[in-house]
Amino acid sequence: MESSQHVGAINELDLSACQPDTLVGRINAVPGLKTSAAFLTFLRANLVLTHSPMSSNVSTPSLGPQPSQDTQGISDSDIPPLSLEILTARADKAAALRLIADSIAQQRQQAASHLVFHPLPLSGLLAVLAAIYRYAWVRNGQHDLGTTLLLASGAIMTYLLAIRYLTSGYLRAAEELSWDFLTPGASNGQGGQEDLIIGTRFGSEIIGALVLRLERLSSSDGNHGHGRRKSHSRQNSLKGGRGVIRAWTTKLRYRRRGVGGDMLREAVRVARERCGKDAEVGFAKEHANSVMVLPERFNGVFRKREMRAARTLDELLSKWDGRTR
């Protein structure tokens, strides 16, 4: 009984008035957290972001693709067009000839790189270096390192200068390229019709050039009298003729991007359109890049390139014939 009376004597306390109203007040209500309350207040005050162009009202980040600052303001109209055409302006033809001349000059670098590491001349250089090491280092009791290095560097420099001299013929061939290259028989004083130049234009820049010669039917020597007029008209006709590619190059930075294949395809189209649907199209034996200034055993890199070009043209002709039939 006493216990029940004691329980009933406990007054019920109203604690609603004692609860702190704010987060800081609630934390301060706990004695152990009073010290950190000031720090939290300071932290909350410094975490308030002011409005700036970088701020956003969206609480979650956007994971979609955002345009970069470099591409903002760039439209399709700002990208230069890429076109393929038969060049008619003299300035465009001159630019195409310069591009062909550059490709001939670039053969010097390719030939020199191939010659430096070719087993035959490289073995000669190694033999000279071995002789220098034997006579300037081994047999010399003082082991003069400076003399040995000086002789070795002199041998290597002579080796490189000799290769540079041997491949200089490509520069001379590039300088000799002129307008006469486009006209058959110009070197013999017999001017003819200029070859066609198929050019690839990127904006206003010529980045690819292909020289196509359309060879006509030759007239027979036995025609006389009124047969001459018939022979003359047949000579001027391109039907039954063939297309001969005398130069084919692309600017160095645009190679391996399909530009050369497009020019070959256009050359086939033009030749078949003007000479007949069964007209032959092939590379000339003496094309612009057929100049070889080194002995044949050192021209393997260029022969392989010619074989790749011939295979590319054959594959294109096969696809063309299969599509037209």
The answer to whether residue 175 sits within a structural domain is yes
Residue 207 near residue 81, CB atoms below 8 Å:
no
- Taking 90 as the threshold, does the pLDDT of residue 61 lie above it? no
The DSSP bridge partners found for residue 265 are none
Residues 260, 208 contacting (CB under 8 angstroms): yes
Split at pLDDT 50, 70, 90, the class of 13 is very low
Tell me: the pLDDT tens digits for 228-250? 444 444 445 677 789 999 999 99
Residues 125-149 as b or e (16 or more Cβ within 10 Å = b): beebbeebeeebbeeeeeeeeeebe
Q: Rounded distance, CA 220 to CA 38, Å?
A: 111
Q: Please state the domain count of the chain.
A: 1
CB 265 within 8 A of CB 316: yes
Res 136: pLDDT: 75
The verdict on residue 193 lying in a domain is yes
Burial class (CB in 10 A: 0-12, 13-18, 19+), 61: exposed
Determine, yes or no, domain membership for 24. no
The answer to whether residue 159 sits within a structural domain is: yes
Q: Is 65 part of any domain?
A: no
Residue 320 has what pLDDT? 84
Residue 265: C-alpha distances to residues 128, 199, 202, 282, 286 (Å)? 51, 12, 18, 12, 21
- Give the domain range for residue 306: 82-324
Cα–Cα dist 288/245, whole Å: 10
DSSP 197: E
Q: Is residue 243 part of a domain?
A: yes
Residue with tokens 């000579």: 235
Cβ 224 vs Cβ 208: under 8 Å: no
Tell me the mean pLDDT in the region 238-267: 91
Classify residue 136 by its DSSP letter. I
Q: pLDDT tens-digit profile of 273-286? A: 999 888 899 999 99
**Residue 169: inside a domain, yes or no?**
yes
Q: How many CB atoms sit inside 10 A of residue 248's CB?
A: 25
C-alpha 289/C-alpha 305 separation (Å) is 10
Within-domain flag for 30: no
What span, in angstroms and rounded, lies between the C-alpha atoms of 259 and 201? 10
Q: How confident is the model at residue 141 (pLDDT cuts 50, 70, 90)?
A: low
Per-residue pLDDT, 4: 43
Q: Is the pLDDT of residue 218 over 70?
A: no
Whether the predicted pLDDT of 199 surpasses 80: yes
Choose among 150, 165, 159: nearest CA to 128: 159
Distance in angstroms (rounded) separating the CA atoms of residues 270 and 245: 12
pTM beyond 0.85: the answer is no
For the segment 188-192, the average pLDDT, to the nearest whole number, is 59
Distance CA 53, CA 180 (A): 64
Contact (CB, 8 A) for 280 and 231: no
Check residue 105 and give left, alpha or beta (phi > 0: left; psi -120 to 50: alpha). Answer: alpha
